[in-house]
Copies of this chain bind each other. A is one copy, B any other.
Amino acid sequence: MALYSIFVNGEVCIDPKLVRADDFFFSGIHLMGDASNAVGSNVITVTVVESPGFNTFRISRACIDFAPSAINPPHTHPRAIEILTVLKGSIEIGFVTSNHENHLITKDLQKGDVFLFLQGLVHFHRNIRNSYAHVIAALSSHNPGAITIVNAVFHSNLDIARELLAKAFQMDKNVVYQIQSKF
């Protein structure tokens, strides 16, 4: 439909005269995601990508399920601050400050705890109990983006040159090759 073929900030825009309640609505964020993968966690997001009506609204939402000892691997959100609340279980969160300090800050969170991650910083979560955990997060952009470090660096559609990664990570080229071929 024509209304959905116009891009503002890289996203479609809706005629305000035609807006309906359902443009502000999304269902099913409480459903347990499928966490049977290598890291044991699953993320459901409600951003402008899933709900075009959210464009320009500067906020979005995510839920994460964690199997026992699951992790949400190190990642960044290039365009948003994140505020996280634990709804079930206990997780350890951590983030690392930028160059040149690279301070690691970690904290164990329980049900009802709220934590805030600054825009663009590398952060991660880890389930620290032998039971399922569930958290809900909000992000300060309708289009926060997410960059999982291992995917961006080692599993892009075309491989980054092995020599470059070996020098950057001070690894043997064979180790780079092994990581690249895992996915």
A104 touches B74 (CB 8 A): no
Give the size category of A's interface with B. Answer: 35 or more
Copies in the complex: 6
B59 touches A99 (CB 8 A): no
Q: Is A106 an interface residue (CB 8 A)?
A: yes
Contact with B along A21-37 (1 / 0, CB 8 A): 10011111111000000
Q: Is A117 an interface residue (CB 8 A)?
A: yes
A157 touches B104 (CB 8 A): yes
B29 touches A121 (CB 8 A): no
A111 touches B6 (CB 8 A): no
A156 touches B102 (CB 8 A): yes
Other A-B contacts than A7-B16, A21-B106, 4 sampled, CB-CB below 8 A, are A8-B9, A26-B113, A61-B85, A78-B120
